[in-house]
Structure formats: C-alpha cells, structure tokens
Amino acid sequence: MSTNGTSTSGSNKIQRRPFVAELLKRRGNTLVVPGLGSPTWDTFASGDSPEYLYSWGGMGLAVPTALGIALAQPSRRVLALTGDGEMLMGIGSLAVVADQNPQNLAILVLDNEHFGETGRQSGLTGNKVDLTAVARGFGIERTIVVTEQGKVGELAEFLFQGQGPALAVAKIALSEDPWRLPEKDGGIIAHRFRVALGVERA
Amino acid sequence: MAFSEHWSSDVFREMKARNIRTVCTIPDGGLTQLLNMVKADPAHRLVTLTTEEEGIGIATGCWLGGERAMIAMQSSGVGNCINALGLPAAFRAPCLMLVTMRGQWGEFNPWQVPMGQGTRPALEAMGVRCFPVDKAAEVGETFAAAADLAFHGRLSAAVLISQRVIGAKGFGQK
C-alpha cells in the first residue's frame, strides 16, 4: 500500500495475468512491445510469439521503441504494454507520440501504483498523478481508465481497433505472480521479431 | 572529397545514399542546416524529442521495423543517453549518433565543459565506437564510415563533430 494517504491500490481488483492473457487473445496481428519486468512476464505467461518484443532492461523505453516500430510499420498495429513506473520514467515520450500522431500505436499502462519488480515500493500513481490527464495534456486525445476485469473486451476494442494514438490505464491489483521468463538474448528476440515482419531473412 | 557549401549537405547526401530516413533530435545550433534539410524533404522524417534517450529507443524501434534511423544531438545530450544505449546493444541493433560538440574548442560557457570533456569517455564506456572529426570537409566521409560500421556491423557508433567545425557560441563577448 502507498504510504501517502489516499492510495487506491487496495481497491484495484484487476488480476494482471488473466487480464493480459484475455487481452492478447484479442490482439489479432498486433505487435506487442512489453516493458521490462512484469509486463514482459505477463506477456510470455499468456503464450509465446515472435511478435512479442520482450524486454529485460532499458526502463522508460517501451513507448519510444514501440513508436519507432509503429513509424516503420504503418500497416501494423503496435501495443506498448508497460507499467506505471516505466511510463513515468519515460513520460515525455507521450509528447513525442502525440506530435508524430501514429494511427497504429496504442499504449496500455498496467498500474499497480508500486514498483512491483524491485520489492513493491510505493510509486507515484496511487495518490495525485493521473496518467490519462497527463496523456491528454500532451495531446493524446484517446484515453481510458479500466478498473474491472470484465472490461477486457471493451479495452481490446479501444486498443486494437480505434484510430489514432491511444493510452489506456488498467488499475491492477498489487499481486505476486510467479516469474515467467522468456528468451533473454536480445539478438534472438530481435531476429525472430524482424523475421516475423519480413524485414530479415530467417 | 569535393568541397561543398556546408558539411550538412555532405551528411544529408550520405544519409540518402543509405536510406537513413528518420532523424530523432534535440536540436543544437550546429545541426540547424541538417535538420532543416531533413524537415523539408518528404522522403525523410524528423522526430523531435523531449530527451535524447527517447531517440535511442525510437531509432532501435525503427530498425526492428525494417527502417534506418539516427539520433542527432549536442554533446550534453549524450549524458542523457547512457542507460538507453544498453537497448541497441542488447538487441544487437545498429545505433548511429551524430553529435555536435560543446565544451571544447573556445567554449565560452563553463557549464558545457564537464559533459563536453566526458562525452567520448562516456560513449566508449557504453561500447559506442567514436568517430571524432575536426575538419568540415571530412564530416561527410566520417559520417559515412560510422554509418556503415553501425548498420552493417549492427553496432553503436557516434560521429563527434568538433566545436572547431561548428564554431563556439560567444554571446557577443571577446
């Protein structure tokens, strides 16, 4: 729990593992760029795909990396799947996303209001920080906050079908999930991703 | 190399020859001409950043998606990129940086000197191959050499253009 008074994490109910799994079932051929730590474990726990660009480092870079892919692959939809800590570290990248205005990029912040991977220290989104308001302030007009497990279908439609850059926040429980560790050789992850896109030979 | 009006034209020509489409940047005075050429050419894309490290992620993403990109910045911005440089290294992705130096030749502003002195050691500490150049006529070929190393070798490379080429900003003082 956050120590700064009005944390909402106690009321966060969404369970990240089944939620991400249900969401990714609906992704179609969307490319997924999970940030380091739990979003990468969640993604791999839902099943493996060469279209998942797993990350083991570079905190703050999930959105910029996804933006680069979205710019280079305008016919493919791209999802940056990150957490509240990483999103805040790279918060300025939302201004760059708004400025570039890629029609095929969506961002989902799995917000448990804590630094889950490093020992569950409280973060900054449990009290005053409103990520969707920040995103709108930067010029990302499509935003949504999801607080219920049952809204996954609605969220999938928002992320995978709408036009224009979009940012969703899912208020998730501070859960303890087993590590699910995918390939960590970045050369292999990049190779299979590029082969899947047809920009590199197998 | 033939004389041309400004080194920026040489760099832009080498960029086009290599299909380097996207330039991510926090601008510097010395980059003005090049950035204007990129912005004016519909075959190219200018990505304005809030901090230089975003450019490392975006350029890596562009390459993952099958395009070539680079990052252009002032030397002070190199300090913002340090941890991010681990990303292309981990992916074995190319990373090409064009850096205009401050804090060295005739610097007026002492606040620029520490990062100016630290630029090359910091880049090399992160495994980036540095290509310093202090003559305007050699910028184009140096850029081409760094670009080829980066994109063919899937390595990180930085062209460091000396303040001697750019000229020091004197704020009207002697």
Residue A37 pLDDT grade (very low, low, confident, very high; cuts 50, 70, 90): very high
Tell me if A68 and B59 make a contact (CB, 8 A cut-off). yes
Per residue, the 3-state secondary structure of B93-162, as one string, reads CCEEEEEECCCCCCCCCHHHHHHHHHHHHHHHHCCCEEEEECCHHHHHHHHHHHHHHHHHHCCEEEEEEC
Give per-residue pLDDT as tens, A51-66: 999 999 999 999 999 9
Angstrom distance (rounded) from CA B84 to CA A36? 13
- Classify the phi-psi angles of B19: left when phi > 0, otherwise alpha if psi is within -120 to 50, otherwise beta: left
Split at pLDDT 50, 70, 90, the class of A3 is: very low
Cβ atoms < 10 Å from Cβ of B10 = 24
Best CA proximity match to B77, nearest among B107, B41, B42, B101:
B101
Residue B169 or residue B20, greater confidence: B20
CA B160 to CA B95: how far, in whole Å?
14
Determine, for residues A71 and B67 on separate chains, whether the beta-carbon distance falls below 8 Å. Answer: yes
Any chain A CB within 8 A of the CB of B32? Answer: no
Q: Is the dihedral of CA A149, A154, A155, A156 positive or negative?
A: positive
Report which of A190, A188, A150, A147 is spatially closest to residue A168, judged by C-alpha positions. A147
Cα-Cα-Cα-Cα dihedral sign, residues B10, B13, B19, B22? positive
Q: Which residues of B touch A95 (CB under 8 A)?
A: 50
Identity of residue A187: G
Q: Give the start-end residues of each E strand in B7-54.
A: 20-25, 45-48
A195 pLDDT higher than 50: yes
Angle, to 10 degrees, between the axis of helix B52-64 and the axis of helix A93-100? 50
Closest CA to A166 of A77, A58, A86, A90: A77
Specify the pLDDT at position A10: 59
Output the CA angle A9-A117-B126, nearest 5 degrees.
135
Is A68 an 8 Å CB contact of chain B? yes
In this prediction the ipTM stands at 0.95
Place of tokens 């299909």: B19
Structure tokens at B142: 């140096």
Whether A7 has a pLDDT exceeding 70, the answer reads: no
Report the first-to-last Cα separation within chain A, whole angstroms: 47
A–B interface: beta-carbon pairs under 8 A: 116
Residue A199, min C-alpha distance to chain B (Å) = 5
Query: Rounded to a whole number, what is the distance in angstroms from the first to the last CA of chain B?
Result: 34
